[in-house]
Amino acid sequence: MDWGWEQVTAIATVLGVLGGLISLGFVVYEVRRNADAIEGATVQGLMSLEVQVFSILTQHADVYERGAEDLANLTSGERFLFNRLVACKISLLNSAYVQFEQQLIDLDVWQAYVRAFQQDAEAPGYMTTWQAIRLRYPEGFRDSLEQNLPAAEQAGSA
Residues 6+ apart with CB under 8 A from 123: 68, 69
- Per residue in 108-146, pLDDT (tens digit) is 999 999 999 999 999 999 999 999 999 999 999 999 998
**Which residues are CB-neighbours of 154 under 8 A, at least 6 positions away?**
146
Distance, CA of 17 to CA of 9 (rounded, Å) = 12
Q: Is the pLDDT of residue 53 over 80?
A: yes
Those residues whose C-beta lies under 8 Å from the C-beta of residue 94, and which sit 6 or more positions away, are 137, 138, 141
Q: Distances from the Cα of 52 to the Cαs of 41, 47, 48, 58, in angstroms? A: 17, 9, 6, 10
- pTM given for the model: 0.73
11 lies in some domain: no
pLDDT per residue over 66-114, tens digit each?
999 999 999 999 999 999 999 999 999 999 999 999 988 889 999 999 9
Residue 141 covered by a domain: yes
The answer to whether residue 5 sits within a structural domain is no
Domain count, the chain: 1
Residue 130 lies inside a defined structural domain of this protein: yes
pLDDT given for residue 22 in this prediction: 83
pLDDT value of residue 152: 46
Question: Domain for residue 70, yes or no?
Answer: yes
Residues contacting 129, CB < 8 A, separation 6+: 67, 71, 82, 83, 86
Q: Using CA atoms, how far apart are residues 40 and 27, in angstroms rounded to an integer?
A: 20
- Domain span at residue 127? 32-145
Q: Would residue 63 count as lying in a domain?
A: yes
Domain membership flag for residue 42: yes
Residue 98 lies in a domain: yes
C-alpha pair distances (Å), 157 with each of 49, 54, 123, 126, 149: 27, 26, 16, 14, 11
CB 105 within 8 A of CB 96: yes
Residue type, 4: G
